[in-house]
Amino acid sequence: KPIYVLNGPNLNMLGLREPAIYGSDSLDDVRKKAEARAKALGLTIDFRQSNIEGELVTWVQEARDKAAAIILNAGAYSHSSIALLDAMQAAELPVIEVHLSNIFRREPYRQHSYISHGAKGVICGLGAKGYELALEALADLLAA
């Protein structure tokens, strides 16, 4: 089964959007790096982005049967979505939460994530590298 790599709102704007905070890589660049890393680790990924909260909820629900694990950058929904947390808990899969930026050195409203409560681990502040590190962690976890 693949690892679902799910990206939330505004991440389609990556590269154009506040590059001082989020870097100059586009989401397609992030996808390519993640795919290369996954391949090296013997994993497959299904990389997706949506601006719609309900679509992300549906994907997390679907992962329960179709995925081995989830890497989730829920964007701003991290700070607001109990629905996404509920879906993660129902999925009963390891979820690694990723943020490109270090949310703890940013605005106070970004310093709480509802979805962290349902995450196996959280990686933030390391840019696109965070996705690769999440894949490494899952490779170990799934092999154990």
Size of the site for ligand DQA (CB under 6 A): 10
Applying the rule CB under 6 A, the residues between 85 and 124 that interact with ligand DQA are: 99-101, 103, 110
Nearer to ligand DQA, 78 or 81 (CB): 78
Q: Under the criterion CB under 6 A, does residue 127 sit at the interface with ligand DQA?
A: no
In 3-state terms, what secondary structure has residue 125? coil
Active site residue 112: no
CA–CA dist 32, 37 (Å, integer): 9
Q: For residues 5-64, which are near ligand DQA according to CB under 6 A?
A: 10
Active-site annotation holds for 117: no
Query: If 0-12 CB within 10 Å is exposed, 13-18 middle and 19+ buried, where does residue 24 land?
Result: exposed
Q: Which is nearer to ligand DQA, 64 or 104 (CB)?
A: 104
Q: Which is nearer to ligand DQA, 75 or 94 (CB)?
A: 75
Could you give the CA distance from residue 118 to residue 12 in angstroms, rounded to a whole number?
24
User: Would you list which residues are annotated within the binding site?
Assistant: 73, 79, 86, 100-101, 110
- Whole-number Å distance between alpha carbons of 124 and 21: 12
How many C-beta atoms surround the C-beta of residue 40 within 10 A? Answer: 12
Contact footprint for ligand DQA (CB under 6 A): 10, 73, 75-76, 78, 99-101, 103, 110
